[in-house]
Chains A and B, each alone.
Chain A
Amino acid sequence: MYRPEVAERLEAFGLDASVLDRVEAEGVPVSLPELLKLVAVSVPRDPEQTSSKKESKESIEEELPPNRWPRRRGNPRRLP
């Protein structure tokens, strides 16, 4: 029922156009809060945003120097 250009625009924002299918599948018109909730839960998290967050975490980890000190068990303050 939706036009292809609408799906394209949604995809340009990183949104999965299948949300349209899922909302249409409900069939019965619903209240505004239900409709917005339906749209909200049907739209997956922005994949670009998720991947950029992952990348930034990885890049921070790369910047850290490798841990040169072996991990010690027990109370570190306790003398051998």
Chain B
Amino acid sequence: VTELEIRSRGDFEKARERWAAWVEAGHLQEALELADRAWRWAEAAGEEGLAVRAELNRWAIAVELDASQAPTERLRQLLLEASDAEHGFLASYTLARVHELSGDLRKALFYARQARERAQRLEPGRKAASANLIGNLLAAQGRFAEAVGEYRVAGELLAGQDSLRLAVVRQNLGYCLARSGRVTEGLRELIPATRWLQERGALRHEAQARLDLAFVRLELGQAARALRHARRALALAQAVSWFELEQNARFLLGCCWRDLGEVFLARREFSRLQEAFAPDGDYLVEVLLAWDVRPWLNLRVLR
């Protein structure tokens, strides 16, 4: 981060390209530090437009790291004052993410639609990002068939790209197709997307994709195949210290063992969930062993 000095507009653009690449690669902390430095330089240099751009970018990254500290009021102000489509897009997209992460899906959808409106005048990547976000919010509400439509739009906008964005959109599309009853079609999207994510070392995304695959394989009654994905998802979730994903992996692992008739191993996974979520509910393990509640689980909502 310290290598790049920002002393001019040219340096600012180089920094912007670099932090965008870091965000894409999942190096959010490094991206945030660079965006902060660019923001400080732009303010000191009296570059008003660049300062707003850098500030919006730094909030967008910071929200991904910790949404609880998001300055909603400031973002609303930036949205109202947005002088161009790019600023309006960034402000509304970030507000949508803030509300999504805090669980207010209605408000999130409102801002995501605003982001899409502003993205119409921007490059295809922005349009795809807003369509993907709207898809995520619909999927989180269990509106899988509607989400499929949004992911298709995003996929078409990114078609032919060799990018993380496209892999994630295809993964989302695959999961929602499967949840809409189009399981084979869903697997056609999910499998290549997961392969891409694994090859590029996108651990967090691969963990989610593996969970999706485990879920779909269980849906097809292929518990042995599902087990392989659930185990990999658990290992990845632990490697990236993602608690919510780890619990989902444990739940699906328990389902796999139960469906394979390995009651002892299923009980072990379900007991861990009971300890985490219902320490006094010793009956929970028995319920989960006796009854497959998996169809009521939505992997697109984590909290």
Contact = CB atoms under 8 A, between A and B. Distances in A.
Given A31-B297, A43-B283, 8 more contacts: A9-B286, A15-B283, A23-B293, A28-B298, A30-B301, A37-B277, A38-B296, A39-B284
Interface of B: 141-142, 179, 244, 247-248, 251, 273, 277-278, 281, 283-284, 286-288, 290-291, 293, 295-298, 301-303
Nearest to B140: A31
A35 B165 CA distance: 30
Closest CB pairs A-B (n = 5): A29-B298, A31-B301, A28-B142, A9-B290, A36-B277
Contact of B278 (A27, A28, A36): A36
Contacts of B288: 39
Nearest to A9: B290
A27 B141 CA distance: 11
Given A15-B287, A32-B248, A43 B297 contact: no
B261 to A, nearest CB: 15
B290 A10 contact: yes
Interface of A: 2, 6, 9-10, 13-15, 19-20, 23-24, 26-40, 43, 46
A2 B293 CA distance: 10
A2 B302 CA distance: 26
B285 to A, nearest CB: 10
Nearest to B273: A36
A35 B293 contact: yes
A33 B248 CA distance: 9
Contacts of A6: 290-291
B277 A33 contact: yes
22 contacts: A9-B290, A10-B291, A26-B296, A27-B142, A28-B141, A29-B297, A29-B298, A29-B301, A30-B298, A30-B301, A31-B297, A31-B301, A32-B251, A33-B303, A35-B296, A36-B277, A39-B284, A39-B287, A39-B293, A40-B278, A40-B281, A43-B284
Contacts of B278: 36-37, 40
B86 to A, nearest CB: 33
A65 to B, nearest CB: 36
Contact of A31 (B284, B291, B293, B303): B303
B224 to A, nearest CB: 23
Contacts of B290: 6, 9-10, 13
Contacts of B142: 27-29
